[in-house]
Structure 1
């Protein structure tokens, strides 16, 4: 059994760890609120953008835009796919990063012509360790998701798509369903599917006319990159919120475990201390009896 000094050292170490986990919980809580606010502030703009896409598509019966070309003439196993994988820059976030890596591996095994675009330092380290070539890494993005950083990613993948280097573009991110549930998801960015933006309209609903100085297809080619940028930005913010929500849960679990350990160690300490006191009393009584016998 450990002595009093050893138990006190262990309790002090656990208390110091609790201070760290509690501080990390508070930091992640503040960042989570910030991420939710960012998402709420930008959602109306991107919903309006999608609505504008739907209005344009209603007036383009046969759309030949390259952004809607499903490349049906290319066999599925020969398609060139690009994957934007959003991970964290730091650990201590439960299964957040593990779930992203697992899904990315499953998708990579489905084809050979893959390009990997990594957002997050842990993702870069992990894929380098696994021997998977990272085509491009976007630094300083995970902890500060912004429209500018999302636009940098958008411009790169759009460039490769326009040049024919990619047939399909996907983004792997973590969506926060609620305060306790987070799901790792795969979303296709390109090519777009017309049905995702259009819905059946009753015959008695008036459809406005749109008059432009250029063709609607050319306008669509300008709107699509902005729409893709909005989706990427939304995924960045969702992942940022999910990461800190996951870290909050992990730190709360660590703090609760530390409290349980302290309670057990406190009981053990009291037992050891009580045993030491009892032993001292026994020794005093024994010494007193010995002295009494000697006097006789």
Structure 2
């Protein structure tokens, strides 16, 4: 059994760690609340864009556009895919980063003719260590998602798609289903599919709409904003999922620390009691020896 000094040192070390995990839990809780508020404040704008786009596609179903071009003339094995992978800038968030990276690795293995775009230090370091080439990365985006940073990413994705460098654009991120469930998923950003907007409800149905100067020009402005909205939503959802995962991990660590402290306190009391008993035994033995000598 360890002596009381060793047990006291372990108790102090665990208490210090417990303070850190509890502080990280509180910080993640605050960041999660702020991120959810930001997302709720911007959702109406991007939802209105989707409604407007759905109305346009309903009224001009025959219109062709680059952003809806599936490029059927390109064979499946020749298609260049661009994957935007959103990870965190740091760990200690359970399996949050691992789950996203796992999907990305599976996609890259199935489609070698792909380009990888990574958000977050964890993802960049992981793929760099594996020797996977990263075509571009976006610094300081995972920890502070904003509309500006979403626009920078969207502009790059749209530029590569319009230039023909990539034929399809996908985003791999983590969706926060609830406070206890986060789920990694992959969605296709480009080319867009008309069927994706078929179920978008419109508050008011107009028999006739006018698009100036032309339907194509209107789409040229609306679609990039929609893509930016999807990316911003994914960034915020990923950030919320990261904070939620870190909260759960830190809460579990804090509870484990409490259990370890309870166990160590019992061991400390037993060691202290054993030491006291040993001292009493030695005193009693000494007193008995003195009596026998006299």
Which TM bucket (shorter chain)?
Answer: over 0.9
1:267 correspondence with 2:266: yes
The secondary structure found in structure 1 opposite 2:26 is helix
8 Å Cα contact 2:22/2:251 also seen in 1: yes
Report Cα offsets for 1:140-193 as digits up to 9, x if no partner.
Answer: 111110000000000001000000111000000000000111000001000000
* Contiguous gaps of at least 5 residues in structure 1: none
| Corresponding position of 1:159 | 159
1:82 correspondence with 2:102: no
The secondary structure found in structure 1 opposite 2:110 is coil
Give the distance between the partners of 2:196 and 2:10, measured in 1 at CA.
58
* Contiguous gaps of at least 5 residues in structure 2: none
Aligned pair count? 292
1:207 correspondence with 2:206: yes
The secondary structure found in structure 2 opposite 1:14 is helix
8 Å Cα contact 1:78/1:111 also seen in 2: no
The alpha carbon displacement at 1:206 in A equals 5.3
Give the distance between the partners of 2:194 and 2:200, measured in 1 at CA.
12
| Corresponding position of 1:289 | 288
| Corresponding position of 2:11 | 11
The alpha carbon displacement at 1:77 in A equals 1.7
Report Cα offsets for 1:271-293 as digits up to 9, x if no partner.
Answer: 11000000100011111111111
| TM-score w.r.t. length of structure 2 | 0.97
| Corresponding position of 1:128 | 128
8 Å Cα contact 1:87/1:121 also seen in 2: yes
Give the distance between the partners of 1:236 and 1:156, measured in 2 at CA.
16
| Corresponding position of 1:194 | 194
8 Å Cα contact 1:138/1:153 also seen in 2: yes
| Corresponding position of 2:234 | 235
The verdict on how the C-alpha distance between 1:245 and 1:206 changes in structure 2, with shifts beyond 3 A counting, is closer
8 Å Cα contact 2:35/2:236 also seen in 1: yes
The alpha carbon displacement at 1:212 in A equals 3.5
The secondary structure found in structure 1 opposite 2:225 is helix
Give the distance between the partners of 1:155 and 1:200, measured in 2 at CA.
25
Give the distance between the partners of 1:211 and 1:123, measured in 2 at CA.
45
Report Cα offsets for 1:32-73 as digits up to 9, x if no partner.
Answer: 001110111011111101001011112212121011111122
| Corresponding position of 1:31 | 31
